[in-house]
Structure 1
Amino acid sequence: MTEQASISNHDVAGWRDYLELTKPNVVALMLLTSLIGMLLAVPGMVPINILILGNLGIALCAGSAAAVNHLVDRKVDLKMARTFNRPIAKGRIDPTKAILFAAVLGLAGMAILMVWVNHLTAWLTLASLVGYAFIYTFWLKRATPQNIVIGGLAGAAPPLLGWVAVTGEVHGHALLLVLIIFAWTPPHFWALAVHRKEEYANAKIPMLPVTHGEAYTKIQILLYTFILIAVTLLPYATHMLNELYLLGAVVLGIGFLYYAVAMMRNKNKNAGMDAFKYSIVYLMALFVVMLLDHYLLPTNIVS
């Protein structure tokens, strides 16, 4: 009787399960880039209502997309060590409730952006939501080993969304921020995919290490790291940012290159996970350096 009660209590969804549906760690990183996109868009401070409501709307839509991802991948999640205990996969949250939860988050986020921010931000956020939750999750993820490259555009949108929330327009410098995250996504995610190759193979997800092998994937990671380093120099080359950013981008890029080469050398079985963890620190640090450069060495970035 006690054991049955324990199982029953374990299966009841709590607020933490619904929070997990939103992938809070991923959303937090997205919000960091969105926030910095806002701050880079203007020489001074962002209006507080846009700062709060803009990021809230973006966060709710991102959480909605994440919940759809949990829902669609619930059977796949059971086959992978890092995801088998997710709330829908384990039955703690019913799929119908998950759909309702995702819909409420998405509609609330869109309403906030439409009413209190601007329509362009709302539509771009919706496009990002659809790109990740439906085009990537439903189709690309299972259709091609280039899934993360093509689908990465949706995840690269937050700094653009933040910029547009403040200015109401798409600017070339905002697109540079998108390009940086777009170039960062493949080496970031493929490093994890190498480490979890057997799990992806078991789940029949055609990640690059599964379809083309680890050696080929590691070469791609190295090549994309060079591309990423080159792309991160563009904000300096276009006079968007200054020498402080250039120094930070070069140092952080050398660090990324170190981990990519370490994977190529194949002497550490955890090199893939080490590279994956560094890539997260890399992106956070790069955007923080952007912000420091913007305020310590101000320049007119919006023409």
Structure 2
Amino acid sequence: MLTKEFGDTDVSRAGRWRDYYQLTKPGVVRLLVFTAVVGMFLATPGMVPWDVLLFGSLGIALASASGAAVNHVFDQRVDAAMARTSNRPLPTGRVSERDALAFAFALGIAGLGILALLVNVLTAALTFVSLIGYAVIYTVYLKRATSQNIVIGGAAGAAPPLLGWAAVQNEVSGYALLLFLIIFTWTPPHFWALAVARKREYEKAGIPMLPVTHGEQVTKSFIVYYTILLVIVTLLPYLTGMSGRLYLSGAVLLGGGFLYYALRLKRAPGNDTAMNTFAYSISYLTALFSFLLLDHYIPVIWPQ
């Protein structure tokens, strides 16, 4: 009997930890931290100092997780109305609103404290602005106020490579802003593809996503337009001398793939194509930043 009780307690604790882990949106945070780390390496011709790499990554990860947890709190009623999110910890009552806010606050204080004390104040300040932009301005206001919510609010999600650059250089340069611009331009076609697939859920939840307010065909056209703009923007690292031919080759191939999916989505009905486009967009950004990182070091042994 005692063994069973202890076993049940262990299972309960494991489930509770999983719920809190889910509040941090770990998949999103991993992608954000990856782009931040790439920003760190691009900011220096050599290796990133180990303390900046460790504490910078940790601080940005904790702050991003804090913003994600706040998003869960403010979106719990919306999440409850959508099949995709109805099983999240807050809509199901597995985690209380008070506990989620306390968890988010603790993560945010820890992340910003690490950045301010162990990296630099500029990175901490920029991270704080990004955190407020996502957790408050986007989640509380923009998401419910305008169909252009993801365009305007995308600035917060585009910040990590700029934060990584600032962690190393303690300044914001034109190249860092170029990395920011790439993700800023990528965000609308990435998220609108998901919004097309989940149109009815957003409509039911009362969120004015573009497919809800302007229809699927208009949204699909905008996905094509933004994808073309993204392809152009991703050529800028090569055209400005930031990156070389290896990156250029990757950017052109990946951009061609994204445009293929966008055009296919424009012509095809149904949710499968929209979700495939959404999935490709995530792989696209990961691969694009991987090419940026590889190109940064490979030219040493592969002359241009």
Q: TM-score, normalised by structure 1?
A: 0.94
1:145-160 paired onto structure 2 within 5 Å: 145-160=147-162
Q: How does 1:139-178 map to 2 (within 5 A)?
A: 139-178=141-180
Name the aligned partner's letter for residue 127 of structure 2: T
Q: Is the 8 A contact 1:65 1:132 kept in 2?
A: yes
Give the match's secondary structure for 1:215: helix
Query: Of residues 20, 27, 32 in structure 2, which corresponds to 1:30?
Result: 32
**In structure 1, the residue corresponding to 2:83 is in which secondary structure?**
coil
What TM-score do you get using the length of structure 2 for normalisation? 0.94
Aligned to 2:110: 108
Deviations 1:131-163 (A, max 9, x none): 000000000000000000000000000000000
Runs of 5+ consecutive residues of structure 1 not aligned to the other structure: 1-5
State the secondary structure of the residue aligned to 2:85: coil
Query: Which residue type is aligned with residue 220 of structure 2?
Result: K
Task: Give a deviation string over 1:41-82, Cα, whole Å, max 9, x none.
Answer: 001110001100001000000000000000000011011111
Asked if 1:200 is matched to 2:202, the reply is yes
Contact 1:43 1:298 in 2 (8 A): no
Residue number in structure 2 paired with 1:248: 250
Contact 1:11 1:92 in 2 (8 A): no
Q: Deviating runs (4+, > 2 A) in structure 1?
A: 9-13
Alignment-derived partner of residue 218 in structure 2: 216
Determine the C-alpha separation between the residues in 2 that align with 1:125 and 1:191: 27
Candidates 249, 254, 259, aligned match of 2:261: 259
Q: 1: distance between equivalents of 2:96 and 2:269?
A: 44
User: CA, structure 1 residues 53+199, in 2 after alignment: closer, same or farther (shift >3 Å)?
Assistant: same
**Residue 188 of structure 2: aligned partner:** 186
- What's the CA shift for 1:13? 5.7
Amino acid in the other structure paired with 1:276: F
Question: What is the aligned counterpart of 1:119 among 97, 121, 138?
Answer: 121
1:12 positional shift: 9.6
Q: Write out per-residue CA displacement over residues 187-221 of structure 1, whole angstroms, 9 at most, x where no aligned residue.
A: 00000000000000000000000000000000000
**Matches of 1:296 and 1:190 in 2, distance apart?**
35
Q: Give 1:278 deviation, angstroms.
A: 0.1
Matched residues in 2 for 1:267 and 1:210: separation?
Answer: 16
Cα distance change on mapping 1:269 and 1:94 into 2, 3 Å = closer
- Unpaired runs of 5+ in structure 2? 1-7
Distance 1:88 1:269 in 2: 27
Task: Tell me, yes or no, if the aligned pair for 1:70 and 1:88 is still in contact at 8 Å.
Answer: yes
- Equivalences for residues 224-239 of structure 1 within 5 A: 224-239=226-241
